[in-house]
Amino acid sequence: MCKSRTITGGVLGLALVVAAGCGSKPAPPEPNQPINPDSGSNPDAAAKPVYELDPARHAIPAHPVSGTIGGAEVTPEAAIEGEFLVFRTPQAGTTLPERELSLKLRASSGQMIPVGKRTVRQEMPEGPDVPEVRLAVPGKQTRLYPNGYALTLELEPRKAGKVAGKIYLCLPDDEKTLLAGTFVAAAPRQPNEPPGVEDVPLVNGSVTVVGTAPGAVLTVGYAANPQPDLYPLGAAQIPLGDEVTAQATYDKPRVTSLTAGDGKTVPSRYEHSKLTPGRYLVFAALKNGPAAWKWVDVGPQSTVAVDLTIDATRTGGLEVNVPLGALGKVQLAPADDPHRPPMDANMFIGVVWQLNLEQDIVLRKALFKNLGPGRYEVRAGKEIRVVEIVAGKTMELDFDAKPLPGKPDPAPEPRTKG
């Protein structure tokens, strides 16, 4: 009998996958069998696949995987993200998932991707030989199928960041979800594997966190404007204290990975790979806390090392007096070199969104707390200023004051409040 469970939430957007690392149970031996290239050569395989709960009758079509997910006909894209083999269709005009079906191939992303053929019969009990299946469709809670379905799955070894395979899957849902056909799944290199030539240019390094408790949430990311109308934005997030790994692939072809440290003596490790050459803001930030960052130039074949340190006990603040008539919010972003022009408006907004550096204007003022030391661009409406935040102080910035002559920054000299 099928044992399905329901979890709250909408479509699972597995662009950010968090997987257990050290301490996970080892993967059970897989029934690895070499893929038979003739397994789809059955004359009936060219016909439209039918809903079939007997794997012995699965004739995998030779065409790209298609079928129905939750009652809608689909031709999904495939990807291996963390532990999961994911089939998804995007929302029209976006990269966000609209319908998604995923199979848990392994206990953690640190384990090898199982290679060969795997068969699951409907009567098989829940366990390590039966991949859990997740089904997410719009307007419904995500359904989990630990067993009770029929599956024929064949996977080839990962090559050049991809895994080729074949699938025939039938779920026991009311809509008779069915996927069948061949696929080539994007399978980014895991953080515990050394980078190859296909991964450059890249930026990597460590993040040391001081003065926070285990369980604090760390985000690493990047922002750039390397070409006109191109604004790469990537980030990955994990809680400190457990050896977990996050990998973000939504900003394709760029990939971000982050392996957590303990928030004490062991630093976290990150990597941004397959970058488009250009100038990048590389940052690390604590949720509801300070950020640390560095601006770097990334060349076509370069590997740039950037180590960052966040000290949660050394933060500053900023009180902004906005121009008369300004409404909405005041926004901040880490400033580039003083001799460079202000950031492109679209990139600025992306950085603000990533670091959550905006505050409402109330009675012509906006107050920021827990800022990491450094230079920030400050924007209110069309006005731009640059301010230096100092640990242990709350700076005051008045947009109506005139910039001092001879200063490279478009900003008046900030004052320490009080």
Q: One digit per residue, pLDDT tens: the chain, 418 residues? A: 444 332 222 222 323 233 323 333 333 333 334 344 444 444 444 567 899 999 999 999 999 999 999 889 999 999 998 889 999 998 777 667 789 999 999 887 767 889 999 999 999 999 989 999 999 998 888 999 999 999 999 999 988 789 999 999 999 999 999 999 999 998 877 766 778 888 899 999 999 999 988 789 999 999 999 999 999 999 999 999 877 788 888 898 899 999 988 877 889 999 999 999 999 999 999 999 999 999 999 999 999 999 999 999 999 999 999 988 788 999 999 999 999 988 999 999 999 999 999 999 999 999 999 999 999 999 998 889 999 999 999 999 998 876 544 444 444 455 666 5
Answer whether residue 340 is part of any domain.
Answer: yes
Answer whether residue 138 is part of any domain.
Answer: yes
Q: Are 209 and 167 within one domain?
A: no
Whole-structure pTM value: 0.65
Q: Are 245 and 113 within one domain?
A: no
Range of the domain at 240: 197-311
Answer whether residue 191 is part of any domain.
Answer: no
Answer whether residue 352 is part of any domain.
Answer: yes
Total domains, the chain:
3
Which of left, alpha, beta for 48 (phi over 0: left; psi -120 to 50: alpha)? beta
